[in-house]
Structure 1
Amino acid sequence: MRSVRRGGKPAGLVVLAVLVMALGAGCGAPGRQASEPDGGRREHEAPGTERAREGGQARGNGDGRGVRAVGVATYNVYLGADLKPLFDAGSRAELVTRASELYAAMEATDFRERAAALADLLAARAPEVVGLQEVARWERGPAGGDLTVRYDFLRLLLDELAARGTPYRTVAANDNFTGRMAVSATEEARFTDRDVIVVRDGPPASSRPRTSRATSAAYSAKATLPSRIPGLSFEVPRGWSSVDVTVRGATFRFATTHLEAFGTPGVRAAQARELAAALAGSPHPVVLTGDFNSRPTDASGAYGILAGAGYADAWTAAGGDPDGGWTAGQSGSLLAGDELSHRIDHVLYRPDGVRAVTAEVIGDREADRSAPTGFWPSDHAGVVAGLRFGGGR
């Protein structure tokens, strides 16, 4: 874990872009602190901030003024395998072989086990609202017949959270891309990629948000990826979801998205402009989370577009190193050493009546790995931020 508090110094974070696409004949609608030279971890806090130590990790209770900040988070949970080999298939027979290998790789990264590790991280912090990306649903069955859900990442994660006494409920979701493909001579599989917003649904009552105006939409801008197979291409629709949240006297609009990873930068930038325009009319402060596939140095891309639309970055606003806070880059097998190398997962907000007082990267420590296999929870790390709203109690 890397964490920062307003007035302190950095921590580290990341996110690696995950490959997305739609498949089939005619595809459709896929805390770390800054490391010390000796490998130690360092936490940063504003003077007067109360410290709570649990298992060697520090959490913030706000900015030291006795008022607990509203916790928000973003986490790309990883669809479970790398889709890129599908794009490189040179024939339909090879595509079937690669699809079978993809499905096997997804099973090998065992989301059932990873969901428990993710739930441990989220339950320990219990943010009121969480934006999730790559919340996959995998189905499988006989060719041409009905398919059965084999892995519903959302259901598995919610069940693990409930088992820890920290239940969440789904309040908004959008399907991005989906596609059905042959994985053998007799079987087919379908993959559906989703962005999801969940909110706390248990005690204490002060942490149980009320929600309204759930909205989801698809971007007009979308990538179409070429294939080496004549007559086949991969279209990658994406979208966003939002919901108005009221908790402890504060009302804000919370949104989440996963911007284009593998199309041209122009598609991703166009999606960022669409999203900024869609949220511009909100009567409430806006908190925008997600995997933006855009680094803080991307001045002319998605990050720069959203900054130009007035959004502040919770990581740097809370004192994080602009060059740290990595959230992406773990290997697809999730079994290598720590390979986080850049920051593309962000908690952003329009600062009128809002300010970030804490920020933390989660899922990046050896202790965060799953048991018994030792997977990283995802190929991304998550970000949790504490936000103070004007008028919040």
Structure 2
Amino acid sequence: MTRRMTAFFAVAGLLAALLGLTAPAQADSARQLKVTTYNIYQGAPLTPLLTAPTLPELIRRAGIAYDQMVATDFPSRARAIAKLFRREKPEVVGLQEVALWKKGPLTGSLTTTYDFLDILLRELRAVGLHYRAAAIDTTFSATLPISATERASFTDRDVILTKDRLPVTHAQSHLYTARLVVTTPAGLTFTIPRGWSAVDVGLGHKPKAGPKTNDQSHTVRVATTHLEPTAASIRNAQGNELHTALAQSPYPVIAVGDFNSLPTDATGPYGTFTSGGYDDAWRAVHGPGGGFTARQDPDLRNLPSKLDHRIDYVFYQPSRLSAVAAEVIGDRPNERTPNGLWPSDHAGLAVTLRLRQC
């Protein structure tokens, strides 16, 4: 009897395979996309510079910020982030605070000292992962003296990374019209632009030879952003700009990033997206609790973790997409660097989404 049942199930399995009964599960898997958002931390807070009462104090604070950036050791943190990505294997990653730091004499040229994008890509290759920067949005940039003999420049960028073989088209980057303008007590004025980037990603098929075209029924648009943290009116305007721009997409949209907006922020970016046709992936999978992504101490050495609120999200349009899984990454003590640093002052969020057929 046992042999007959075994033979029966073997024949049944063969018939199912021949009739294509397993195809829906395979096709469903092919239409899944794993995305991650991660604010990787520029290395030091810069807001103290905006309140410096005098120019000498501004220079002193700028020097402290540069030294703290060095101390928070992005090369080591990049290795920790690469290990997280090796475990999660996201196909698309939205990164914020992808800093570019340069330093040099008060007069003369500056030399790149820390290019966070190059450092991270190198560490990803070292663990066998191959990504490309599919879209780069360069936002704020400034150069200041950091001592009596040196000056440094900081450039902020948001970046979309995609796996090398993933079909990607229509990369775009934009700056928001709404931007913060701050005049410091020392008399300097800084304009702080922010922006968003997006790419169209093809799922479930390989790119064809010749001009790159995506099958609309298997394509999604993935956007990333980092909205203004300090001024709610500016942040809300930026959120509205992004929502309006993404409404023009011919494809289902996934919007990821550091929105600097709590789930209770009904009139801010969270409310704009969740009342405007998007679901919050973490909430859809796990409910309203947990999912904390912000914020560790600026020196990244606090223990235990101080993550206690959510401002980093994966939003998606549920008319064509559904959230399958969601996980916070970089929030466990064993995910820190060997010298005791958190990978960032934020945690990342890794989400698997499924695209439904039209």
**Same fold by TM (over 0.5)?**
yes
Aligned alpha-carbon RMSD (Å): 1.4
Residue 257 (structure 1) aligned to one of 208, 222, 225:
225
8 Å contact 1:327–1:343 — kept in the other structure? yes
So what's the TM-score if we normalise by structure 1?
0.79
Tell whether 2:167 aligns with 1:210: yes
Higher share of residues assigned helix: 2
Letter of the 1:199 counterpart: T
Deviation at 1:321, TM superposition (A): 3.2
SS in 2 for 1:245: strand
Question: Which residue in the other structure is 2:308 paired with?
Answer: 341
Q: What is the distance in 2 between the residues matched to 1:273 and 1:84?
A: 24
Determine the C-alpha separation between the residues in 2 that align with 1:234 and 1:184: 20
Q: Superposition pairs for residues 176-215 of structure 1, below 5 Å?
A: 176-201=139-164, 208-215=165-172
> Residue 183 of structure 2 corresponds to which residue in structure 1?
226
Q: Which runs of 5+ in 1 are unaligned?
A: 1-63, 202-207
Displacement of 1:65 in angstroms is: 5.3
Residues 283-341 of structure 1, C-alpha deviation per residue, up to 9 Å, x if partnerless?
100000000000111001111011222111111111x2313210001111100010001
- Give per-residue Cα distances to partners, 1:5-55, cap 9 Å, x unaligned: xxxxxxxxxxxxxxxxxxxxxxxxxxxxxxxxxxxxxxxxxxxxxxxxxxx
User: How far, CA to CA, are the matches of 1:352 and 1:144 in structure 2?
Assistant: 56
Query: How do residues 104-143 of structure 1 correspond to structure 2 at under 5 angstroms?
Result: 104-143=67-106
Q: Which amino acid aligns with 2:227?
A: L
Checking the alignment, whether the CA contact within 8 Å between 1:217 and 1:240 is kept in structure 2 is yes
Q: Computing the radius of gyration over CA atoms, which structure comes out larger, 1 or 2? A: 2
Q: Secondary structure at the match of 1:343?
A: coil
Q: Deviations over 1:166-208 (max 9, x none)?
A: 111010010110000001122110000000000112xxxxxx3
Q: Are 2:175 and 1:175 equivalent residues in the alignment? A: no
Alignment deviations for residues 100-125 of structure 1 (CA, whole Å, 9 cap, x no partner): 11100000000000000000001111
- The verdict on how the C-alpha distance between 1:259 and 1:86 changes in structure 2, with shifts beyond 3 A counting, is same
Deviation for aligned residue 1:255? 0.3
Cα drift, residue 99 of structure 1: 0.5
Q: Distance in 1 between matches of 2:174 and 2:162?
A: 20
**1:195-231 alpha-carbon deviations (Å, 9 max, x no partner):** 0000112xxxxxx3111111111000011123111x3
What code does the residue aligned with 1:227 have?
T
Q: Please say if residues 126 and 200 of structure 1, whose CA atoms lie closer than 8 Å, have aligned partners that are also in contact.
A: no
Q: Which residue of 2 aligns with 1:290?
A: 257
Q: How many residues align?
A: 319
Distance in 2 between residues matched to 1:245 and 1:183, nearest whole Å: 42
Identity of aligned residues (%): 50
**Partner amino acid, structure 2, of 1:316:** R
Give, in whole Å, the separation in 1 of the partners of 2:134 and 2:51. Answer: 37
Shift of 1:351: 1.4
Aligned mates of 1:183, 1:247 — CA distance in 2: 48
Q: 1:311 aligns with which of 264, 275, 278?
A: 278
Q: How does 1:11-160 map to 2 (within 5 A)?
A: 67-68=28-29, 69-160=32-123
2:211 alignment partner in structure 1 = none
- Higher RCO structure, 1 or 2 (CA under 8 Å, sep 6+): 1
* Deviations, residues 59-109 of structure 1 (Å, cap 9, x unaligned): xxxxx9564331111000000011122122111111111111110000000
Q: Return the match for 2:204 from 248, 251, 261.
A: 248
In structure 2, C-alpha distance between the alignment counterparts of 1:177 and 1:192, rounded to whole Å: 6
Q: Distance in 2 between matches of 1:178 and 1:323?
A: 37
Measure, in 2, the Cα distance between the counterparts of 1:158 and 1:128: 14
Instruction: Give the Å deviation of 1:144.
Output: 2.5
Give the TM-score, by structure 2 length: 0.87
